[in-house]
Amino acid sequence: MSSSRSQPRIQVLSDHVANKIAAGEVVDRPASVLKELMENALDAGARHIDVKIVAGGKRLIQVTDDGTGMDRDNALLAVERHATSKIRDVDDIEAVTTLGFRGEALAAIASVARFTLITRPADQLDGTELHITGGKITEVKETGCPPGTTFQVRNLFFNVPARRKFLRADATELTHVRQTFLVYALAHPAIGMSLMVDDRMVYQLAGDAPLLERLGEIFGRDYVEHLRPVAWAGEELQIEGYAGRPHLQRADRSEQFIFINQRPASAPLIGYALNEAYHTLVPKGRFPAVFLFISLPPDRVDVNVHPTKKEVRFRRPDVVRDGLITALRGVLTTGEASGPPVARREQETGGRAAPGLQLRIEDLPTLPMFNYPRLAPEPITGGGAGEKTTADTSATSDAAGQGTRPEGSPWSWCRVLGQVGGLYVVLETEDGLVLMDPHAAHERLLFERFMRLMVDRKVKSQGLLAPETVALPPQAAALIRKQLPQLEAMGFGLSDFGGDHFIIDALPDCLGPVAAAQVLPAIAQTLEQSGERGGTERWAEERIAKAACRAAVKARDKLTVREIEQLVVDLAGAEMPYTCPHGRPTLIFMGFDELDRKFGRA
């Protein structure tokens, strides 16, 4: 007994249905509508863009620009699917320089909203007003309007209830809208922009602004003070912008703004490069703030790999990756200190603090308070911890105020106020209040001292009174055995005793007193967590130095007042004073402006 099943009939979808399907790729919420409309305005050469939002963009998204505008025929063509003025042939995609080029966005938006287009070129007296409801043109007429274009998108997804119910609350959608606006405001600081939300002006950004000024308008003056300029150029690659100091970190990538040929976009290798550049500065799971413009020839980047153009592909990804790491590393480490570290200055003066680096100690009941005028014109005579001084406090403050802060230094002067919790040191600086973790700071100093000696090939070994035998798990032992030549070059007296046992008879002198039985397991654990990348010499040195420093610093070691004072001095001269080698903060800042706001004095 046989039965036949009827086959479904294949048919070509209508343009109306195809546009609605395409809208699902291009338009998923009000923020994606704003993205497409702002890109159109920028491609039209606008010098000023005004955005108006009502109810998180669900009721109205309006974008007005002063760009080239369109005549009647081009306005009608603009809302047709795959109609564009950006490219003519498939080869043009290989070197596209505009933000848009697919010709899908306006048709997709108009198919799921009540859409109005008002436009006029500067060389015509009358403009064109076009109304579309759910993808169908309902009215076309002449109108009086200024040169440029206005897009109005009302009642988004009014004819797609299933899509509309997936929209979030107005406040949530507005958050995404504001983030999209900020992305393009940062990408084009030369363009004046405004954002009005529910008849309230949120941003009014002037045009022809340098990037730093635009950043200050958006994030505030205090924020930009913690950014460092990035300027690096290679053979076919240029990287500019600003990188946040390590303490300017977030739990997500919301403050990582990457622009590729002024297009907001990214690629997996960029995230990898950022992680590499900050890998000893920011804890795992935290993300630094960066604002980077990557420029390269258009034919070296493929922007046609994602429907919304959020992701690109590079023809030579290794060049971009290595360039980013080099540019950021240069700014975050060697490029930030304008002079030799404090420790070196002390060596040059025979172990005594150089002029302008003296500590002024005042006798307090708990932890003495001392001033540290780093660049005071005259040395300040002061005693050690617990000693009285003859100079008065006002004179010290005046001297401290005359100094200027070297680039990369956390302060030009500071004063230790006390200690809380038996651990954290409270400091006052010219900028406000600072909390310091002395053990994270000590670890940073040990790491930099160790790495500097290794780079200069001046590592000295300190022999142990009695050799120690350390047993490791088999996998850890294999990793240590593989790195034996590197460890010996770094000052470790280490030999394989067989059976996963090692004998240690010397340690790098710069680590100070540390138990050998703790150093080796820490190094093995670090190498084990690193995976296959442990083969490069420089990388291995950094990982081993980090592990050794971690073993050398204990969370509750007692520090004397003099040790804390010296730590403050040394930390100011460190290449990266803000984090320990593992990315934990050494300092937490609270500026006077923030204090004023918290006490309602702003």
Query: Which tens digit of pLDDT belongs to each residue from 243-292?
Result: 998 878 888 888 899 998 888 888 888 988 898 888 777 877 888 899 99
Q: Is residue 215 part of a domain?
A: no
Residue 467 corresponds to which tokens in the numbers above? 């050799």
First to last CA, the chain: 88
In a domain, 164, yes or no: yes
Structure tokens at 228: 């460092």
Stretch 514-535: mean pLDDT, rounded?
Answer: 63
CATH code (residue 274):
3.30.230.10
Task: Quote the pLDDT of residue 220.
Answer: 84
- Joined together, the tokens standing for residue 119 give 């436009």
Do 75 and 157 belong together in one domain?
Answer: yes
CA atoms within 13 A on the CB side of 306: 13
Q: Note the pLDDT of residue 301.
A: 84
Pair (420, 446) in one structural domain: no
- Domain end, chosen from 332, 364, 395, is at 332
On the 0-12 / 13-18 / 19+ scale of CB atoms within 10 A, 169 is exposed
Asked if residue 325 lies in contact with residue 276, where contact means CB atoms within 8 angstroms, the answer is yes
Please, which pLDDT band fits residue 178 given cuts at 50, 70 and 90? very high
In a domain, 1, yes or no: no
Residues 6+ away with beta carbon under 8 Å from 59: 154, 155
Whether residue 580 has pLDDT greater than 90: no
Q: What is the mean pLDDT of residues 410-416?
A: 79
Q: Is residue 8 part of a domain?
A: no
Mean local confidence (pLDDT), 378-387: 33
What's the average model confidence in pLDDT over 513-521?
A: 71
- Inside any domain, residue 391: yes
CB of 81 closer than 8 Å to CB of 18: yes
Distance, CA of 328 to CA of 232 (rounded, Å)? 9
> Of the ranges 221-235, 263-277, 333-347, which one carries the lowest mean pLDDT score?
333-347
pLDDT digits (tens, 9 = 90+) for 24-61: 556 889 999 999 999 989 988 999 999 999 999 999 99
Q: Are residues 170 and 57 in the same domain?
A: yes
Q: CB count, 10 Å around CB of 229?
A: 12
The whole-number pLDDT of residue 51 equals 97
Could you tell me if 536 and 594 lie in one domain?
Answer: no
pLDDT at residue 188 above 90?
yes
- Identify whether residues 323 and 409 lie together within a single domain: no
User: Which H/E stretch holds residue 250?
Assistant: strand 249-250
Query: Please, are residues 598 and 297 in contact by the beta-carbon 8 Å criterion?
Result: no
Residues 202 and 59 occupy one common structural domain = yes
116 with 191, same domain? yes
CB 196 within 8 A of CB 51: yes
Express as a percent the part of the chain with pLDDT over 70.
71
Q: Is the pLDDT of residue 446 over 60?
A: yes
pLDDT of residue 185 exceeding 70, the answer is yes
Rounded to an integer, the average pLDDT of 500-523 is 76
- Predicted confidence band of residue 551 (pLDDT cuts 50, 70, 90): low
Range of the domain at 539: 442-552
The residue among 332, 364, 391 that closes a domain is 332
Q: Would you say residue 10 lies in a domain?
A: no
